[in-house]
A and B are shown apart, each in its own frame.
Chain A
Amino acid sequence: MNARVEISSQTAVGEPLIACVELGHVYDSGRGRTTALGSISLTVDRGEFVCVLGPSGCGKTTLLNILAGFVVPAQGFVRVGGHAINGPSSERGVVFQDYSLFPWLTAQANVEFGLRMAGRAARERAKIAHDLLGLVGLPDAGAKYPFELSGGMKQRIAIARALAPRPSLLLMDEPFAALDAMTRSSLQAKLVEIHRQERPTILFVTHNIAEALVLASRLIVMSPNPGRIVEDIRIDLPRPRRRTAPRFNELYEHVARAIGLETAE
């Protein structure tokens, strides 16, 4: 694993936001045991935009589910913000591939959901939701129900919803995989913009190399059987990133080799 030499602007906080130590997980399906995650050690600083990249079965989603509190790891331990994880929490927002918006709530009420669960006042909720709808570029969609929105719009609402309780960590599980190429690239740009403005710490799982290279400030490449980290690369490409830039392509080739892909000439 590469040592990260760059010093983030927020080192004053001291402790990294995420600290995983020898994290491992095994799924027992009854017909045999699958080692989803080998022994992973990893730290992530506040404000980082980490993409976790790898083929299916490499344990990247398991890692995200452990961080979200959906899955209890079989071995090792993990701390987020200095605390052990004890189930899901609004401290760790999650954006799902299938949006998972509440179909019975309007876009605005979906965004307000976490604040409502925290017992925040209606006026305050409305103000925050209004600002977030603006941030994701859907200032007028508040009264619409999810079924009235396109996939890309739903995912923007889902991002706003996850950001509303101001989580210290935003976990994104292949959030753009179900979208068409154009919507996907516009949402990638939006997410980079949101990260620049709000500086949330993001852990973004994907199996798309180009997507990871467009988004990440740091790229973690995983490999299956058992799931483990094979590369940990700081991505210092200038933004906005051009997929045609020579350096972008060099990184692409490098990462493709790391996950065992024969790169197309």
Chain B
Amino acid sequence: MAFGVSRHSVAGIIGTLAFFGAWEALSRSGLVNNVMLPAPTTIVQSAWELLMTGELPRHLGASLLRAAIGFLGGSVLGVALGVAMAQSPLLHGTINPLVQMFRAVPSLAFVPLAIFWFGIGETSKIFLIAWGVFFPVWVNTYIGVRDVSPLLGRAAASLGARGWRNFVYVVIPGALPFIIAGLRVSLSVALVVLVAAELAGAAFGVGYLIQMSQQVFRVDQMFVGLIVLGGMGFAADLLFERAIRRLLPWYGAEQVGQRGSQIEQASGRLVTK
């Protein structure tokens, strides 16, 4: 696979090189202002400088830490409340209207409020990320636990599963495909909210780097920020997938399409309910 060069991958390499070549030529030609559109080589050079001065690692570190804490907090709460609501109809009845109400508001709209409440420090950013992450995880966990296959439930019951053992060995693993789907969506949500929160006010972070670069006309550094964000999203998704494949070898191996459409159907049902 790695060494088998297909026609498609050759075409992809040629296309990419042509794109960056044209960009480089355009920036150097004088047809456009090269402050507004710095050449790729200039961007690489700025990236190297930012890396060497330690500035980029510091911004990246700050962003990663926020994203990680926010993601962790939001997912733990989402899973916990999703499980609790699926297990207790009373709890579900009590707080479902509230959660649905908050879910309907785009999480980015809370940025100004969070800054007003918590300032531009870490608290507001972690809160916003956790807030954004919470909803997809909660919805999926709730559906996953509620709709655990009744057939597997019967199989488990006829093997003597009940109480906490049934919950730990059947309900939670049965809901995992849904929970994982929710976590995966949340991963990209976390990145979006992170950047929005950092753009709105921060002292460190990749979003802050982009914002600050704009104010000093360093378009090249803005591009560095964009590339770093792209790399973060890509790496997060890749690591997530690797971790899932290693920890849960059965996940996605069976009826991928079927399960996908099942999740979509389930989401549809939740909305109509």
Q: Which one of A70, A96, A100, A118 contacts B160 once the chains associate, using CB atoms below 8 Å?
A: A118
CB-CB contacts of B145-187 with A at 8 A, as 1s and 0s?
A: 0000001101111111110011001100110100000000000
Query: Are A104 and B165 also in contact (CB < 8 A) when A147-B254, A161-B159 are?
Result: no
Interface locus among B13-21, B51-59, B245-253: B245-253
Judge whether B152 and A100 touch: CB under 8 Å.
yes
Q: Considering the chains assembled together, what is the distance between the CA atoms of A105 and B154 in angstroms? A: 16
Most central of A98, A100, A161, A165 by chain B CB within 10 Å? A100
CA distance A98 to B152 in the complex (A): 10
Contact A117 B169, beta carbon cutoff 8 Å = yes
Q: What is the minimal beta-carbon distance from A259 to any residue of chain B, in angstroms?
A: 27
Select A117's contact among B151, B160, B173, B254, beta carbons within 8 Å: B160
Nearest B-chain residue to A104, judged by Cβ: B173
Q: CB-CB contacts of A129-167 with B at 8 A, as 1s and 0s?
A: 000000000000000011110000000000001101100
1/0 per residue, CB under 8 A from A, across B232-265: the answer is: 0000000000000000111101100000000000
| Residues in B whose Cβ lies below 8 Å from that of A116 | 165, 169
Q: In the complex, A148→B250 CA distance in Å?
A: 9
**CA of A105 to CA of B250 in the docked complex: distance in angstroms?**
8
- Tell whether, in the assembled complex, residue A103 and residue B157 are in contact, meaning their CB atoms are under 8 Å apart: no
Q: What is the CB-to-nearest-CB distance from B130 to chain A, in angstroms, rounded to a whole number?
A: 28
- Tell which of A96, A103, A118 touches B254, judged by Cβ atoms closer than 8 Å: A103
Closest-by-CB residue of B relative to A90 is B160
Could you jot down 7 A-B contacts, CB within 8 Å? A89-B160, A90-B160, A100-B155, A102-B156, A104-B173, A104-B251, A145-B253
By size class, the interface of chain A is 20 to 34
Whole-angstrom distance between the alpha carbons of A16 and B133 in the complex? 59
Task: Beyond the given A93-B158, A100-B152, A145-B250, please list 14 additional residue pairs across the A-B interface where CB-CB is below 8 A.
Answer: A70-B154, A88-B154, A92-B158, A94-B154, A100-B154, A102-B152, A104-B173, A104-B248, A104-B251, A116-B169, A117-B156, A162-B158, A162-B159, A164-B159
Q: Nearest 6 CB-CB pairs, A to B?
A: A90-B160, A114-B159, A88-B157, A147-B254, A100-B155, A117-B160
Q: Which of A117, A118, A164 has the most CB of B within 10 A?
A: A117
Within 8 A of B (CB), among A59-100: 68-70, 87-90, 92-94, 96, 98, 100
B158, B249, B251: which contacts A90 (Cβ < 8 A)?
A: B158
A18 to chain B, nearest CB (A): 16
Q: Is the interface of A mostly helix, strand, loop or mixed?
A: loop
In the complex, what's the smallest C-beta–C-beta distance from B55 to chain A, in angstroms?
Answer: 45
- A100:B151 contact, CB within 8 angstroms: yes
Q: What is the minimal beta-carbon distance from B159 to any residue of chain A, in angstroms?
A: 4
For residue A260, give the distance in angstroms from its CB to the closest CB of chain B.
31
Cβ of A204 under 8 Å from chain B: no
The CA of A69 and the CA of B166, in the complex, are separated in Å by 17
Task: List, in ascending order, chain B residues with CB within 8 A of A161's CB.
Answer: 159
A165 to B158, CA, bound (A): 10
Residue-wise interface mask of A (184-212) relative to B, using a CB-CB cutoff of 8 A (1 in contact, 0 not):
00000000000000000000000000000
How far is B176's CA from A39's CA once the two chains are assembled, in angstroms?
A: 43
Is residue A113 within 8 Å, beta carbon to beta carbon, of the partner chain? yes
Contact A117 B250 (CB under 8 A): no
Q: Is the CB of A96 within 8 A of B169?
A: no
B77-94 contacts to A, CB under 8 A, are none
Question: Distance (Å) between the CB of B54 and the closest chain A CB?
Answer: 45
**How far apart are the CA atoms of A101 and B249 in the complex, in Å?**
16
Q: Tell me the complex Cα distance, A55–B156, Å.
A: 28
Residues of A close to B170: CB separation below 8 A:
102
> Whole-angstrom distance between the alpha carbons of A116 and B159 in the complex?
9
Contact A117 B161 (CB under 8 A): yes
